[in-house]
Each structure stands twice: as structure tokens, then as C-alpha cells.
């Protein structure tokens, strides 16, 4: 099964909501998008695709890919990405990171990157996350001018939280980076 435009994936360990291992912070709540399965195993790549993702790799993707939703009568509906059984399609733009099956290397997928928060002591709020100063944890291959571990400044309200691989990370679009410190 191949698609001309989409990755074909299955939820990691065929579980949409249940905790699957100590590597992933998940819950069984359908209502809370923060705890839906965000890890998928790649069944096939798009026809003609050239990139870092290969069949068998794990990818981090959008939280609604596997999520069951309810209509206005409370009837559960499959995700709009559902094909059949436990197969789903996902757009390249909704894939954020690949975990290579052979090397376990983590690579952000352009135009996204993953950052780690830094902390500061605010005189009014105490010790808290610094919203704009972060550490670049996983860059994508287009980010030649950056290195993983760089301290960077980012635009306010540009991050999207992920709790994966036992790490609290934020996914951002690379164009939200303001400067390297």
C-alpha cells in the first residue's frame, strides 16, 4: 500500500491511548489531546519520497492523527486520518520527528525543531521556565547554521509542548528562532 502524498502509519504498539512503555508519557483520555498517542510506526512512505523517514521508523506526529472524536450527538467517530483497521494516513506537514529504527537517532523534520526550556528566577513569580531562551535539542537537517545544544532566543508563544522520550520538549517552526546566544 503506497500513497502518492501521505505517510501510511499505525499507532506504536497498535495503541491509540494506552501507555505503551516508560519512554512515552501517555494516558487513556480521549478528551485530552495532550495525552493521545503521538508516536507512529511507518508502514509506507509517499511515492517518490526522498528524506529521513523509512519504513519501520517511528515518527512523532500531530495529536489528532489517531484521536477518536465525538459528533454533536455524542457518537464516537474515527479520526479523519483513519483508512481501515489500524492504518492511518498522515500529511508530511504533520510529522515532526523521526526516531531511526537502526540507530535510535532522533531527527527533527523540517521545518520543525525541538527545544528544551531553560529556567530563570523571576522576582515576582519565582523560579519558572524562561519562555524565550531555550536550548536547541533536536535540529532538522536544513538548520546548517545551528548545532544541537545551542542556546537560542525564540519568539513568544511559539512553542508546542511534547512529553516524549522521557523529556519535556517544545516543538517549534525553525523560523520562530530569533537568535543564537
- As a whole number, the mean pLDDT across the chain is 86
DSSP code at position 29: -
Kindly state the average pLDDT of the residues 39-54: 94
CB-count exposure of residue 174 (10 Å: 0-12, 13-18, 19+): middle
Residue whose grid cell is 517549534: 172
pLDDT, residue 64, reads 85
How does pLDDT run across 72-131, given as a tens digit for each residue?
Answer: 998 988 889 999 999 999 999 999 999 999 898 999 999 999 999 999 888 888 898 888
Q: How far is CA 24 from CA 95, 101, 102, 111, 155, in A?
A: 17, 16, 19, 23, 28
Mean pLDDT, range 66-77, rounded to an integer: 86
165-178 per-position pLDDT tens digit: 778 899 999 999 99
d(CA 134, CA 116): 6
Check residue 25 and give its pLDDT: 44
Q: Report residue 139 CA to chain centroid gap.
A: 13
Straight-line distance from the first to the last Cα atom of the chain, in angstroms, rounded to the nearest whole number: 46
Give me the DSSP letters along 146-160. --TT-EEEE-TT--E
Q: CA 57, CA 102: separation in Å to the nearest integer?
A: 8
- Regarding predicted confidence, which is higher, 139 or 15? 139
Does the structure show a pLDDT above 90 at 157?
no
pLDDT of residue 166: 78
**Where residue 21 falls among pLDDT bands split at 50, 70, 90?**
very low
Does position 16 have pLDDT exceeding 60, yes or no?
yes
What gap in Å lies between CA 142 and CA 6, rounded to an integer?
Answer: 21
Amino acid at each position: 500500500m503506497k500513497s502518492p502524498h501521505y505517510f501510511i502509519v499505525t499507532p506504536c504498539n497498535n495503541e491509540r491511548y494506552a501507555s505503551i512503555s516508560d519512554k512515552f508519557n501517555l494516558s487513556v483520555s480521549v478528551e485530552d489531546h495532550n495525552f493521545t498517542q503521538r508516536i507512529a510506526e511507518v508502514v509506507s512512505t509517499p511515492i517518490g519520497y526522498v528524506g529521513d523517514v523509512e519504513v519501520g521508523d517511528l515518527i512523532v506526529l500531530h495529536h489528532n492523527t489517531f484521536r477518536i472524536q465525538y459528533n454533536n450527538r455524542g457518537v464516537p467517530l474515527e479520526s479523519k486520518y483513519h483508512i481501515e483497521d489500524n492504518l492511518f494516513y498522515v500529511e508530511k506537514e504533520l510529522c515532526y520527528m523521526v526516531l531511526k529504527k537502526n540507530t535510535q537517532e532522533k531527527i527533527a523534520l523540517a521545518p520543525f525543531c525541538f527545544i528544551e526550556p531553560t529556567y530563570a528566577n523571576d522576582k515576582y513569580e519565582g523560579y519558572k521556565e524562561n519562555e524565550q531562551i531555550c536550548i536547541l535539542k533536536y535540529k532538522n537537517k536544513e538548520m546548517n547554521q545551528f548545532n544541537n545544544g545551542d542556546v537560542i532566543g525564540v519568539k513568544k508563544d511559539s512553542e508546542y509542548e511534547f512529553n516524549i522520550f522521557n523529556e519535556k520538549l517544545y516543538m517549534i517552526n525553525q523560523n520562530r528562532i530569533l537568535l543564537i546566544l
